[in-house]
Amino acid sequence: MVSKKKLMASVATTVALTGAGFMTVGQVVPQLVIQQNVKAASAINDYISNNNIQPVSIQNEEGTFSKWFGYENGVGKPEGVVVHETATPGATARNEVTYFNREWSTMYSYVHAFVDNNEIINIHNTDYGVWGAGQTANAKYIQIELCEVSTTDEFARSISNDAYYIASKLIQYNLPFTPGTTVLSHNDVSNKYGDTNHTDPVGYFAAWGYSMDQFYDLIGTYYNNLKASGSVTNGGGSTSTTDPDTDSSTIKVNNTDGYYVPIVSFDSTGVATAVKSRALANNTPWYTDKTKDYEGHTYHRVATNEWVSDQYIVN
């Protein structure tokens, strides 16, 4: 939890900061009855599987956070991912992105991405750190905020999107999936380093009959399947919804010479220009519906005017 929490209690040093407490709106969240066993059985994970819920694609857009600092091991060398939740019921990922981009310099808090049931929005290059979980964790981890939703279906979809982002980032940086080490809750970080006292997302998960162990199961499934096949289902299927009436397909992209896959846009004259504020994560699948030939390469459209070259497409 980093966000609205958004009232600061104290400011020590800006490099060390994370957002302080926020009084959340009272909300009754439905409880799910789940089977308890050593394998962390989960009604939510079953719901995701039984309904073939697929995560959406990651949207990469540069936010306003202007503090560019590498991790303690260097630029492009995070050690894992910290899981937060926003503690703002009903606020969407886009709502939170807008708020953080406007207010980070006064609340001394920022994260890499926000996720809800509809979107995954990455707003800071994950090669660089952010201010989300205290000085020690900020120097080590990518950080993502999960938005609070109000229905079982929304929760399942938001968890699926969250797990996909985390699994894809571990793969992008060639990190193993090790619960409590390369993936941690903010509660884990508080207990491990003592720089903060936040316990998210444990309480929010519990309100849905969910737990970090069950979330680890989902992340692990996505991680293994993405590594094996480029799909979270390990048998095909896209990470985003496709239009059956469109001539479309899914491609997997990877840049063996960098930490991300560059994309371009085309102007009205057909000239390509590099998109500097966004990129695609390595080893991730993307829905594409159009192609364009340019200077000896075929470019595949992955957004309205964002295209990736065939030189980054892998089988």
285 membership: H or E segment, kind and range? strand 284-288
The residue among 261, 264, 257 whose CA lies nearest residue 295 is: 264
Dihedral sign, CA of 278, 279, 284, 288? positive
Percent of the chain with pLDDT over 70: 81
DSSP 11-40: -S-GGG-------PPP-----------TT-
Domain range 14-229, CATH architecture: 3-Layer(aba) Sandwich (3.40)
Average pLDDT in the 3-19 region?
A: 36
Q: How far apart are CA 248 and CA 130, in angstroms?
A: 36
Give 45-97 pLDDT, tens digit per residue.
999 999 999 999 999 998 999 999 999 999 999 999 999 999 999 999 999 99
Q: Are the beta carbons of 123 and 112 closer than 8 angstroms?
A: yes
Sorting pLDDT into bands at 50, 70 and 90, what band is 26?
very low
Q: Are the beta carbons of 61 and 70 closer than 8 angstroms?
A: no
Q: How far apart are CA 222 and CA 55, in angstroms?
A: 10
Residue type for position 138:
N
Sorting pLDDT into bands at 50, 70 and 90, what band is 232?
confident
Q: What is the pLDDT of residue 68?
A: 95
Average pLDDT in the 213-227 region?
A: 92
291-294 — which CB contacts under 8 Å span 24+ positions? 292/266, 294/266, 294/270
pLDDT at 239 over 70: no
Q: How far apart are CA 273 and CA 263, in angstroms?
A: 9
Give 127-179 pLDDT, tens digit per residue.
999 999 999 999 999 999 999 999 999 999 999 999 999 999 999 999 999 99
Give 177-208 pLDDT, tens digit per residue.
999 999 999 999 999 999 999 999 999 999 99
Q: What is the pLDDT of residue 252?
A: 87
Give 77-86 pLDDT, tens digit per residue.
999 999 999 9
pLDDT at 210 over 70: yes
Q: What is the pLDDT of residue 1?
A: 62
Sorting pLDDT into bands at 50, 70 and 90, what band is 40?
low
Q: What is the pLDDT of residue 234?
A: 61
**Average pLDDT of every residue of the chain:** 83
- List residues bridging with 109 in a β-sheet: none
Q: How far apart are CA 200 and CA 123, in angstroms?
A: 21
Q: What is the pLDDT of residue 163?
A: 97
Q: How far apart are CA 18 and CA 301, in angstroms?
A: 38
Q: What is the pLDDT of residue 251?
A: 85
Q: How far apart are CA 140 and CA 152, in angstroms?
A: 33
Sequence ranges of the domains in the chain: 14-229, 249-314
Q: Are the beta carbons of 305 and 274 closer than 8 angstroms?
A: no
Sorting pLDDT into bands at 50, 70 and 90, what band is 237?
very low
Give 241-294 pLDDT, tens digit per residue.
333 223 346 788 999 988 788 999 999 899 999 988 778 888 887 777 788 999
- Cis before 201? omega within 30: yes
Q: Are the beta carbons of 84 and 111 closer than 8 angstroms?
A: yes
Average pLDDT in the 292-299 region?
A: 93
User: Which residues touch 265 (CB under 8 Å, ≥6 apart)?
Assistant: 272, 273, 275, 305, 306, 307
